[in-house]
Amino acid sequence: MAQPIRIDSRIWLRDFNPDYHEGLDKERTREKTEKLCLRIGELQHLLYANHRHSVILLFQGMDASGKDGAGKRVLEHVTPAGIETANFKTPSADELAHDFLWRIHKAVPRRGNIGVFNRSQYEDVLVVRVLKLQPREVWSARYAQINAFEKILAGNNVIQLKFFLHISKDEQARRLKARLNDPAKNWKFEMSDLEMRAHWSEFQKAYEDAINCCSTSWAPWHIVPANHKWYRDYVVARTVVDALEKLKTKWPKPRVDLSKIKIK
């Protein structure tokens, strides 16, 4: 039976296999992904030219799940001027002096652009919850606040594509070991990766609750099986193309009568 990607009903993460790949062939799927990524580049030109909508690609997942890698791959053929990126790690003193959504709203991309969020507002119902940085009554109220925030964005033509990159604990271990063994990847390793790994079960429950509480019609979650990077990239690229094509964007008409323009 096919495993759902877009989530529109209550889920349990135990029912989702991070190794799932639809039985697709690896090399053929990579070829399809390349075509999808080229199409994203074309559609982004239309998005930029019309300047009516913006798009957020929001990536969440355990350490080494591929948040940077997925964003890099699917936007490979997009003009850099049309991309805005934000990486939400430990809040600064200034950010902590404001409400938890303040730093997120500042990073929302301008109309015509695609924004990439490596982590997001969901850190405040994930890390904050698991590490007990706030009491339950504080972080539990944030689900409704996040939904309201995302509805405001949707009402202002911000397309929100939320991806949970779902990997297994064994696959994470392999990727973390690769960071230790490859000098070109040593810089990626942080001791905090192991600290978070020690809370694996608590994080899985926190992700499950975040998805169930905050997968809405205006900003649904997508659970992406991410043990296979080639399949992860294909799913993300396919989802982005579908969302951009649904806008049915056409080239805007010129502001002046071009037939009367003469360039000497």
Whole-structure pTM over 0.85, yes or no?
Answer: yes
Domain spans, the chain: 6-250
Count helices and strands in the chain by DSSP H and E runs? 11, 6
Q: Where are the beta strands (DSSP E) in the chain?
A: 6-7, 54-61, 83-87, 114-118, 158-166, 221-225
Instruction: Give the per-residue pLDDT at 3.
Output: 84
CA gyration radius for the chain? 20
- The candidate with the shortest Cα–Cα distance to 164, out of 104, 109, 122, 217, is 122
CB burial string 196-217: b at 16+ within 10 A, e below: bbeeeeebbebbbebbbbbbbe
Q: Is 139 helix (H, G, I), strand (E, B) or coil?
A: helix
Instruction: Give the per-residue pLDDT at 106.
Output: 97
User: From CA 230, how far away is CA 149, in angstroms rounded?
Assistant: 33
User: From CA 216, how far away is CA 218, in angstroms rounded?
Assistant: 5
User: Within the chain, which residues score under 50 in pLDDT?
Assistant: 1
Instruction: Give the per-residue pLDDT at 175.
Output: 95
132 within 8 A of 210, measured Cβ to Cβ: no
| CATH ID of 6-250, from 3.10.20.30, 3.20.20.140, 3.30.465.10, 3.40.50.300 | 3.40.50.300
Instruction: Give the per-residue pLDDT at 191.
Output: 83
User: From CA 115, how far away is CA 108, in angstroms rounded?
Assistant: 7
Longest dimension (CA), the chain: 70
User: From CA 91, how far away is CA 104, in angstroms rounded?
Assistant: 11
Instruction: Give the per-residue pLDDT at 1.
Output: 43
Phi, psi at residue 163, to the nearest 5°?
-115, 120
Q: Is 114 helix (H, G, I), strand (E, B) or coil?
A: strand
